[in-house]
């Protein structure tokens, strides 16, 4: 029988739909997450060290992500009972970098058939035929993929960076701006590039104190941290 070939989803695409069994019951994705941001991420295998460090870190930050209206959903090509046993081991036995008694309460998808992993382009045969790479999909409340990041098997993710990505995406939406290199809340943001000669001239001649133009096409403005966080973070 010929193998079904899936094209990889891209930024701006609707998140591919699937139903799956998870450690928190069945989910219907992305419909169950409508109205929330969601980070769907894969890991290579249960009971492996890099993955364990990642799960402990992500679970410890879950409340921080939830407060920014974002839910977490994990996946690997292991079965449900392996997932359950691994998460119990993490909670009962593993102490790592000051984290202990860590309970993973977000759903972890079982995907032994690799159906979901294949749909989302999480299988990369050059890296492994049997394990998903460390893929991250940031999906918005309308079910649109907004960011995709891939890491190889050997490299644990930086979860502060994933949080920065989430806040930057929301800031861009809420304030109609873009965010420059290494942006963090409180840093200046980029105003949309002038779309006409008139606006370009206006920008360059403007005396507005909160706007700085490096040239007509590259202008930033102040956006203070509290203004950003008050809009995005649920207290
Ligand atoms: C790990 O999580 O430690 C790991 C998993 C698969 C391959 C290499 C490392």
CATH number of residue 112's parent domain:
3.40.30.10
pLDDT tens across 151-207, in order? 999 999 999 999 999 999 999 999 999 999 999 999 999 999 999 999 999 999 999
Mark the ranges of the chain whose per-residue pLDDT is less than 50: none
Residue among 42, 46, 51 to mutate when testing ligand 1 (max atoms within 8 A of CB): 51
Question: Are 197 and 123 members of one domain?
Answer: no
For the annotated catalytic residues, the residue numbers are: 51
> In the prediction, which pLDDT does 1 show?
56
Q: Is residue 51 part of a domain?
A: yes
Q: Which atom of ligand 1 is nearest to the CA of 53?
A: 2
Q: Are residues 148 and 86 in the same domain?
A: yes
Looking at residue 140, its pLDDT comes to 98
Closest CA relative to residue 139, chosen from 62, 35, 2, 6: 35
127 is a domain residue: yes
Rounded to the nearest angstrom, the distance between the alpha carbon of 226 and the centre of ligand 1 is 39
124, 34 Cβ separation under 8 angstroms: no
Each residue's pLDDT tens digit, 183-194: 999 999 999 999
Same domain? For 142 and 76 the reply is yes
Same domain for 106 and 187: no
Q: How many domains are contained in the chain? A: 2
134 CB under 6 A from ligand 1? no
Query: In sequence order, which residues have a C-beta less than 8 Å from that of residue 91 and are 6 or more positions away?
Result: 101, 102, 103, 104
Q: Using a 6 Å cutoff on CB, does residue 156 contact ligand 1?
A: no
Asked whether residue 49 falls in the same domain as residue 151, the answer is: yes
């Amino acid at each position: 029988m010929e193998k079904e070939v899936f094209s990889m989803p891209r930024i701006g695409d609707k998140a591919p739909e699937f139903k799956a069994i998870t450690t928190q019951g069945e989910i219907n994705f992305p419909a169950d997450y409508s109205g929330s941001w969601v980070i769907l991420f894969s890991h290579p295998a249960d009971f492996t060290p890099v993955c364990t460090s990642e799960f402990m870190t992500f679970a410890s930050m879950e409340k921080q992500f939830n407060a920014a209206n974002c839910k977490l959903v994990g996946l690997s090509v292991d079965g449900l009972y392996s997932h359950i046993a691994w998460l119990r081991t993490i909670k009962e036995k593993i102490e790592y970098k000051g984290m202990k008694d860590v309970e993973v309460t977000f759903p972890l998808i079982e995907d032994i058939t690799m159906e979901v992993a294949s749909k989302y382009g999480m299988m990369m045969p050059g890296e492994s035929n049997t394990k998903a790479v460390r893929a991250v999909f940031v999906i918005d409340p309308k079910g649109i993929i907004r960011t995709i990041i891939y890491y190889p098997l050997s490299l644990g993710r930086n979860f502060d960076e994933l949080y920065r990505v989430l806040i930057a995406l929301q800031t861009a939406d809420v304030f109609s701006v873009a965010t420059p290199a290494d942006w963090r809340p409180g840093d200046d943001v980029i105003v949309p590039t002038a779309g006409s000669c008139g606006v370009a001239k206006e920008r360059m001649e403007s005396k507005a104190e909160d706007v700085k133009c490096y040239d007509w096409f590259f202008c930033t403005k102040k956006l203070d941290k509290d203004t950003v966080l008050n809009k995005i973070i649920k207290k």
